[in-house]
Amino acid sequence: DSGVTQTPKHLITATGQRVTLRCSPRSGDLSVYWYQQSLDQGLQFLIQYYNGEERAKGNILERFSAQQFPDLHSELNLSSLELGDSALYFCASSAEEGSVFPAEAFFGQGTRLTVV
């Protein structure tokens, strides 16, 4: 058990809909990362938050947004969903300060999103 909790585990929704994925980092970890893993794109970094502030942005679509709350949990919002958004979405957390490459990141089990 990595200590990172993601909910829900599975999500099936229709095109055009909006969903929210939730991540609770390991206790004490200030950095949260979101990744998308799809069959055709592999594992892609989306966005990173550190102590409530956005720190780095990767290949995140404009239809997607994220935030980190004062209690350090994070949510990834996906809107106007398309079939191609079907993927595994992973959250990871790290104890290290945001400006330093984390020596270790702990991953949640992921949320499997299926858009039909």
Partner 1 sequence: SQQGEEDPQALSIQEGENATMNCSYKTSINNLQWYRQNSGRGLVHLILIRSNEREKHSGRLRVTLDTSKKSSSLLITASRAADTASYFCATDEDTDKLIFGTGTRLQVFP
Contacts with partner 1, residue ranges (CB under 8 A): 2, 4, 31, 33, 35, 42-45, 48, 50, 55-56, 58-59, 88, 90, 92, 94, 96, 98-110, 112
The dihedrals phi and psi of 75, each to the nearest 5 degrees, come to -130, 140
Taking CA atoms, 44 is separated from 1, 8, 41, 71, 87, in Å, by 23, 20, 7, 26, 11
Q: Which is nearer to partner 1, 92 or 115 (CB)?
A: 92
Q: Which is nearer to partner 1, 61 or 79 (CB)?
A: 61
Using an 8 Å Cβ cutoff, are 59 and 44 in contact? yes
Q: How far is the CB of 99 from partner 1 (least distance, A)?
A: 6
